Amino acid sequence: MTALTLGLPSKGRLQADTIGWFAARGIDIARTGDARQYAARARGIDGLEVVMLSAGEIPRELASGRIHLGVTGEDLIRERAPGWQDRIVLAAGLGFGHADLIVAVPAFWVDVETMADLDEVAEAFRARHGHGLRIATKYHNLTRAFFQSKGVADYRLADSQGATEAGPKNQSCEAIVDITSSGGTLRANHLKPLADGLILQSQATLCLSRAAEWGDGERAALARLAERLGVALTL
């Protein structure tokens, strides 16, 4: 029987919530072997093979066509798969993993409430320091596109792979672009989001790969899966 390959997050809350979402629809997914292995199996529907991947790998695997479906954050699809619209379908939001990608600045910047204010500060900052504002983020592509849309050009990106929110306090950057859910971490680090600085409202999303092999057998298996899940899965 023709099988579809489904990539799921390999660890953490996102993995647990994803497995729970499938279980609620009659598909039980469990790891095989010990916790260090990334193999899994699905019960409750024929023709579905499961691979465990990091959430950040899933966009690349979808874009390359090595998996037919995958669950990851919409933010990761948009950031890590340039030109994703041609190769990936955002099929269904799953209702968990909610987070906002936002621009935040130090709370004591009392005169900076909007992106236009940030643009003005950037000009003054360069005049004083001789270089552009440093914006710490893991989301370079989304940040560049958003800043361009807001007419903000005088800045430079500082790559952040750790605790991005601590950057301004540690003087490694002046502002940040990062994911937030409750805003508690921002407040703990004396940061505030800009009023018009919302880049993306993200959630866990079931995605389809347009680049994968889709013969008659795969399309039939997709139709069976869509019926079981109760969601539209259309290429």
- Considering the domain architecture, whether residues 88 and 168 belong to the same structural domain is answered as no
**pLDDT beyond 70 at 204:** yes
- DSSP H or E stretch at residue 142: helix 140-149
Residue 83 and residue 67 share a domain: yes
Q: Are both 197 and 208 inside the same structural domain?
A: no
Residues 130 and 197 placed together within one structural domain of the fold:
yes
pLDDT at 162 over 90: no
Classify residue 235: in a domain, yes or no.
no
Given a cut of 90, is residue 161 above it in pLDDT?
Answer: no
What is the predicted pLDDT for the residue at 182? 85
Do 72 and 36 share a structural domain? yes
The CATH number of the domain holding residue 138 is 3.40.190.10
85-136 pLDDT, tens digit each: 999 999 999 999 999 999 999 999 999 999 999 999 999 999 998 989 999 9
The number of folded domains in the chain is: 2
Give the single-character DSSP code of 132.
P
Same domain, 108 and 39: no
The two three-digit tokens of residue 10, written as one number? 């390999």
> Quick one: 197 and 108 in the same domain?
yes
**32-78 confidence digits (pLDDT tens):** 765 555 678 899 999 999 999 999 999 999 999 999 999 999 999 99
Domain that holds residue 191: 99-202
Q: Please report which confidence band the pLDDT of residue 163 belongs to, taking 50, 70 and 90 as the band edges.
A: confident
Least confident range from 37-46, 64-73, 157-166, 184-193: namely 37-46
| Residue 197 pLDDT greater than 60, yes or no | yes
Per-residue model confidence (pLDDT) at position 37: 55
Whole-number Å distance between alpha carbons of 15 and 18 = 5
Sheet bearing 204-209, strands edge to edge: 28-32, 39-43, 48-53, 4-9, 69-73, 204-209, 88-93
Q: What is the mean pLDDT of the chain?
A: 94
Same domain flag for 93 and 208: yes
C-alpha radius of gyration, the chain, whole number:
21
pLDDT number for residue 34: 56
